[in-house]
Structures are given as C-alpha cells and as structure tokens.
Amino acid sequence: MYKNILLLFALCLGTVYSRYVNFRVISFGRKVQVQIVGGKKYDLSLEKGDEILYTRKVNNVPLGVFKYYYIEDGKKEDFVRETGPKTVNTYIEFFGRKDTIKKLKTFSYPDKKWNKSIGETELFDESYIPTIHITGKTAEDLMKKPRYKYFYLEKVTFYLKNNKKVVTNVKTDPKNWGFAKFQMRMEFLSGQNINGRTLLKLRNGGEDPLNLRQLIYGNIIETLGMPSIKSVMVRVYYNKKPAGFYTLQEEAFSESFVKAEFHGDPKTQTIKNEKIGQPFNGECGAEYSYSDSLSHYSQFNGANKTDQKTKLRAFTKALSKFDTKKATAKEIERFEKQWFDIDTFHKAMAMEYLTADWNGYWYTNCNFASYDDPTQSTKTTFKHYYISQDHDETFGVGLTKKYNKMGVDYPKISYKTLLKDKYDHGSKHRTLVDKFIKDSPILQRRFEKTLISIVENIFNPVNFKEVVDTYHERYRPEMKWDFSFERAYKPSKYVSQGIPDYTFKDYEKNLSKRVGGLKWGLYEWIKLKADSVCDEFCISYKGRKPSKKCVKKY
C-alpha cells in the first residue's frame, strides 16, 4: 500500500515538473544565465552559428505561469519576467528590455480596409521591436565609410518575435551621408526573402527629432485603407557594435512591395501567384500629362530596366480626354473602375495637405509611386493607383520659407490655397489634383468629405495624441540608447552642412514643444491644423466646437 502511495506521489511530482521551456534572449555579454524565481539558475549558450542569441531548453520547470529573469556577465535585470501558462518557447527577448511585447494603440477610421495585402506579418509586427545584426568584414567598411557603391554584406540576421531570419550576400546601398546615422537600402538576392519581401530600407528620420513622423504617417494611411508601405522600428547592430534605432520600411516602387501589397492573401499572409503590373517611381518632375512620346515619361523610373510605359501612357491619354468638369457621377464611377482609384488618391492628398508634405506630389510633384494592377485591368483599360511614400519631412519638418510664407500660422491655411492654375515648384500643373479635385465640383465635394472624416476620426488632438503617446513611451528607451554612443562614420562639414544636431532632450520635448529650427511641436501642429479645418467646415472633435461664425457645408 505504501509503495502504491509513493509511486502515485512520484507520478504526480513528475507531472508537475514535466514541462520544459526554451529560453531565448539577445545579449552582447560573454556569459548569460536565466534564473527561475524560487528555483534554479541555468547557463545559456549561443545558438549554433549565431553571435548574439543565447538559448537553453530547461526541463522540469513548473506548470502554469512562473517568473524569471536573465543575468548578463553577473549583472541581473532589474525587473522580473513572466511566462504564459503554456509557454514552450519564450519570444526572442532582449536583455534589459522589460516589455518584449507591448501592444500600441491604433488609429481608427470608419471606412473599408485595404484587402489586397498580405498584411504586416511577423516582420512588421509593431508590438515587438526587432533586432537586425549585420556581420562580416564588409559591414566594417560600410559603417566607417559609406560611399557611391553597392556593398555586399556577408550576413544580415533579422530577429523577429518568434523567429530569426538569416539573409546572405545582401546588396546594400547607403544613402543620406550628411548624417552619421545614414540610411541603407537592402536587396535580397538569389530568391531570398522575409515574409515575401525582397527589398527593405533602413531609414533614419534625421530631420525629425522624434524619429516617429514617418512611422505615424504610414500607420495613418494604412488605417485609411490605402496601399501603404509597412514600417517597424528596429535596433541595428554590426559585428556586435551599435548602429542605431531605425525605421525598417518597404520601398513603394519595388516589385517586392506591389506583390505583398496588391497581390497578397490576408488570410494566409502569402503572395498569390498572379501576374503583376509595373511599379514606377515618380521622381521630381514626373507628371500625368499625356504625350504620345514615351520619353515624356522619363521621370517615371521603373523597378527594372525592361519596364515599358505603354500602360502609363494609355492611362494619361484616357485622363486627358476625361472632362471631369462636365462628368456625371456615373461617368466618374466608370472611369474610377477602369483607370484610376480616386478614393485612395483623395486620402493621399488629404494627408499631404494636413501634414504639409512639401516633398510630395501636391507641393513639388516628387516622391510618389504609380502602379497598374493587372487583376483590375482589361486588354484596353489599365487600372492605376497613386502610392504615397517618403514621409520623414512632414508635420512641419523641413518646411522652409521656400514653401512657408506665413511662419507659425502656416498650419492654418485652407487646402484651397494649394489649388493653383500654375504651380511655383516642380512642373507647372498637377494633373491629378486638377482633374480629381480642382476642376470637378462633384469630386471636390467628395475630397472635402474625405478630409473632414480624417480630421474627425484621426487628425485631431484627442484621437491622435491617444495613439502617439503610446509610441513615444514605447520607444523612449530605444531613442535614449540611440543618442548614447558615437558612430564610426563622421560626415565631413561639407556634406553635413545645415544638418540638425538633435539630442535626446529634443526627443523628449518635440511632442509638445518646438525644438531647433522647427516652428511647431508635433501636437501643436495637429491642433492648429485640426482647428483650422474644423472652422472651415464647421465640424468638431471631442472637447472642441467650431466657430460660431462658420457655416456648415455638409
């Protein structure tokens, strides 16, 4: 009888401690351990072939939730972590970062969502901060002396929430050398990809003391239901040395982007086996005016040299013949179905106006992409989309006297001041704005309703601040780290002339206060612009009523 009781006790004890957990943590130390609170301490080892990922499978851990922390070279973390009730593998954690996963608040908009994309996938999951580690001799050369050439990086490892992805022989092009923290464009060769993406950029918002404006902009346009480049904030290292806190981003005119954004299955997060169209980069001067000569479209640069512009020319020809001044609602609907998505274009222009995106299409006809989607086209009609990109100099950043003649009151201008018969910057006309906003009473009303809806739901001090506060809090330790070290590359005075030299204090202040040469804090810009639109259209947002003098239009 006693033997049976002892056997039963042993079986119960074995059941209690039969669970295992695979601990995974990124560390730049030499010795890494995990301490189970109330239990044992275990040494972790570098994963085979890895330089910074320490792991260990620990058997006989308690069932249910239990607490633990990591120790690096004898120094323990100053907080305690906690497993889930059924955790088998921890996330890929980062030594010293308290919140491995933290859900950020999101913007909300009452309109249909973009349903052609594979979605964020694990690569662009904003609840997690990925780590990118570049290794090899080429990385040393790149980080010390960026220049006009392609650097083929031996190995780049992406540490995501649950998985790590290794890419080799990465074709890398450095950009913006005026900043010590320069940008990098990475192209994956030989069929390598991460969640279907083959081309990514590491962007630095050097002109932006918050380093958040381009992330915010991208998240808003995604919420609005537009085709949008995905972004996530990442830590970057090379050969175990710090490179910086970057925005990892897609490139809008790449085949990598259009496959993921226009030909994706959101349910399976995979790319469909469909014929793709031709993405073009609308460089400064690119315009949708018609000419029979293909050389007229020289400022539209394709993703590869074999791209033809015959479909783009066909679209501009159809556009030149389409008289939006006289067009009926049904005729507009037909044109939109066959040739051009007006809805997403209106949203893009509303955002360019609200953020004073002076380096975009409306202001200077720069920095946009164009794409024809074969799945929505016929043999004679080719459905095109306008795609917004490069959002770092927005919300007042870079808005010099060349574009701003009103000083601190500039956010108060009406969108109507941007409607012109002849433009001062870039080409003389903005064909898309003229056709789909200025010249058509029907479409101008539609644009205004879109603008109003964006302000009522997102672009106002209440809704905007509620979301962005969570960004600022989440990324505060990362930005503090980003400002804490000197970089190997030091740009010359010539290339860095006029470049702002921000500090962590500027990151702390610029949400609400102006810093450096900026005339507005981010929240100050939002309030001025939202109030102006509210007064113009006699609308309101929580806590603010429109002027008594205004006349409600809609």
Phi, psi of 544 (to 5 degrees): -145, 125
Rounded Cα distance, 177 and 490, in Å:
9
How much is the CA Rg of the chain, to the nearest whole Å? 26
In order, the DSSP letters of 60-71 are EEPSS--EEEEE
Q: What is the mean pLDDT of the chain?
A: 95
Distance of CA 496 to the CA centre of its chain: 25
**Relative orientation angle of helices 329-338 and 342-355, to the nearest 10 degrees:** 90
How confident is the model at residue 222, as a pLDDT?
98
Q: How confident is the model at residue 66 (pLDDT cuts 50, 70, 90)?
A: very high
pLDDT for 411-467, tens place per residue? 999 999 999 999 999 999 999 999 999 999 999 999 999 999 999 999 999 999 999
Mean pLDDT of 502-531: 96
- Which pLDDT value is given to residue 455? 98
Mean pLDDT (whole number) for 136-159:
98
Task: Please report, for the chain, the start and end positions of each structural domain, with discontinuous segments joined by +.
Answer: 16-94, 284-457
**Listed range (8-22, 164-178, 206-220) with the worst mean pLDDT:** 8-22
**Torsion angle (degrees, nearest 10) of CA 136, 142, 148, 154:** 10
**Distance (Å, rounded) from C-alpha 368 to C-alpha 187?**
20
| 8-state DSSP, 171 | E
- The pair phi, psi for residue 301, each rounded to 5°, is -100, 130
Residues 81 and 57: their CA atoms lie apart, in Å, by 17
pLDDT at residue 553, rounded to an integer: 82
The percentage of the chain sitting over the pLDDT mark of 70, rounded to a whole number, equals 96
Q: Which residues pair with 61 in a beta bridge?
A: 19
Could you read off the pLDDT of 338-362 as tens digits, one per residue?
999 999 999 999 999 999 999 999 9
CA distances 129 to 41, 91, 249, 299, Å, are 27, 11, 13, 36
Give SS3 for 332. Answer: helix
- Mean pLDDT to the nearest integer, 106-115: 95
Residue 361: per-residue pLDDT: 97
Question: Residue 257 in contact with residue 250, Cβ under 8 Å?
Answer: yes
How big is the CA angle at 50 (ends 49 and 54), to the nearest 5 degrees? 125
Q: What are residue 395's phi and psi, to 5 degrees?
A: 55, 40
pLDDT single digits (tens) 373-397: 999 999 999 999 999 999 999 999 9
Q: Is the pLDDT of residue 6 over 60?
A: no
pTM for the predicted model, two decimal places: 0.95
CA dihedral of residues 85, 90, 103, 476 (deg, nearest 10): 130
Q: Which two structure tokens, joined as six digits, stand for 554?
A: 């809609």
Helix (H, G, I), strand (E, B) or coil at 59: strand
- Distance between CA atoms of residues 304 and 11, nearest Å: 65
**Topology (CATH) of 16-94:** Immunoglobulin-like (2.60.40)
pLDDT score at 308: 86
Q: pLDDT-derived band of residue 526, with 50, 70 and 90 as boundaries? A: very high
Q: Which residues contact 226 (CB under 8 A, 6 or more apart)?
A: 114, 344, 347, 348, 388
482-507: pLDDT as tens digits: 999 999 999 998 988 888 999 999 99
Cα angle for residues 42, 46, 50 (degrees, 5° grid): 160
Q: For 274-309, what is each residue's pLDDT tens digit?
A: 999 999 999 999 999 999 999 999 999 997 767 789
Q: Which tokens sit at 291?
A: 């000419």
> 383: Cβ–Cβ under 8 A, 6 or more apart, which residues?
337, 338, 339, 340, 341, 372, 373, 376, 377
How confident is the model over 85-103, as a mean pLDDT? Answer: 98
The predicted structure's pLDDT at residue 17: 53
Q: Residue 305 in 3-state DSSP?
A: coil
CA distances from 255 to 229, 303, 311, 366 (A): 12, 7, 17, 20
**Residue 408 carries which DSSP code?**
G
Cβ–Cβ under 8 Å, residues 106 and 136: no
Using CB atoms within 10 Å of the CB of residue 56, give its burial: 0 to 12 exposed, 13 to 18 middle, 19+ buried.
middle
